[in-house]
Amino acid sequence: MDKLLTTKEVAEFLNIHEKMVYSLVSEKAMPATKIAGKWLFPQYLIEQWVENNTINFPEHIQPLTSNQRLIVLAGSNDLMLDKAIALFNRSFNGHLAVFGNVGSAGGVQALRNNLCHIAASHLIQDNEQDYNFEFAAQEFTTMPVIVNFCKRLQGLLVRKHNPMEIMSVADLNKQGIRLVNRSLGTGTRLLLDKELKKAGIKGEKIQGYHHEVARHMDVGQEILAGRADVGPGIEAVAKALDLDFIPLRWERFDLLVAKDIFFEQTIQNFFGLLLTDEFRKLGQTVPGYDLSMAGKIVYQKSDKH
């Protein structure tokens, strides 16, 4: 049999981030096999996959325009983003904003492939101090404009009164804990995997680690229905479903848009809503959000000291 590569070895072979390998696997876009709960990649199939996907693109590909009336957003699922889209559709008669829930990595890739106008993403970088820039740099030759949408509190959702006494990610190693997880390629899944690694826990050993759902609310509903004890998610869902919540960290949730269309009127109308009192009042009705940076362009932090 030809050599089997691990996700880390595939990432090094392709010179991409390991998290992007997981995203490609989740989209069934890369040949892979799962053995004993671990993804492995036949090297000859990866080499064939690279050859089959080699295309000479024009140097300049025009990004999808907003067509003056329609905005397509794609990426990470978020309760406040749903409210922002609804506010836009109410505020601009004859215009429409629609959303595709494909996870953060899927949103960045959709923007690269001109399948959406705006990507919603909260991909934490390896330094755990910044978000999205490293992933965007891998996908784009010209960096998109990155506008903050919000900061939100990520953590673990648990059953009311926390009967399993889960206090941290380290407790997911307890016997009998049933987990409900988010899909590969989502920022929430990436954060959980990072925290599990720091705690020295192999996710595959946790009951339910491969039980994946598409939305934050789906995680909460699985716990509410008694089919799971714990799952990664945002505080807003815990409050909405009267579940308990163990906070992990505040994260930055951004919107990415190509520079070529950033100043189109319809795009500016959407971003302009994030600066309004009406949007900020909506934020006050949902716990676990900080909108102090909403609508502001964010820049990559310098590594210089």
Residue 232 and residue 105 share a domain: no
DSSP letters for 23-37 = HHHHTT-S--EEETT
Please report, for the domain that includes residue 48, its CATH number: 1.10.10
- How does strand 70-75 pair with strand 96-101? parallel
Please give the residue range of the domain that contains residue 286.
Answer: 70-150+252-290
Asked whether 235 and 249 are in contact (CB, 8 A), the reply is no
* Per-residue pLDDT reduced to its tens digit, 187-233: 999 999 999 999 999 999 999 999 999 999 999 999 999 999 999 99
pLDDT for 63 equals 60
Residue 229 and residue 170 share a domain: yes
- How does strand 212-213 pair with strand 181-182? parallel
* Per-residue pLDDT reduced to its tens digit, 88-125: 999 999 999 999 999 999 999 999 999 999 999 999 99
Is there a domain that residue 299 lies in? no
Residue 136 and residue 260 share a domain: yes
pLDDT for 22 equals 85
pLDDT > 70: percent of the chain:
92
Tokens of 125: 């970088």
Residue 107 and residue 96 share a domain: yes
Residue 110 and residue 93 share a domain: yes
Q: In the chain, what is the greatest distance between 2 CA atoms, to the nearest angstrom?
A: 62
Residue 258 and residue 134 share a domain: yes
- Could you give the CA distance from residue 76 to residue 100 in angstroms, rounded to a whole number? 9
Residue 160 and residue 92 share a domain: no
Is there a domain that residue 297 lies in? no
DSSP letters for 135-149 = HHHHH-SSPPEEEEE
Q: What is the mean pLDDT of the chain?
A: 91
What is the domain count for the chain?
3
Asked whether 210 and 37 are in contact (CB, 8 A), the reply is yes
Q: Is the pLDDT of residue 259 over 60?
A: yes
Is there a domain that residue 86 lies in? yes
Residue 268 and residue 189 share a domain: no
Please report, for the domain that includes residue 161, its CATH number: 3.40.190.10
Question: Letter for the amino acid at 220?
Answer: G
Q: What is the mean pLDDT of residues 68-87?
A: 95
Helix axes 7-14, 18-26, angle to 10 degrees: 110
Whether pTM exceeds 0.75: yes
Q: What is the mean pLDDT of residues 53-63?
A: 53
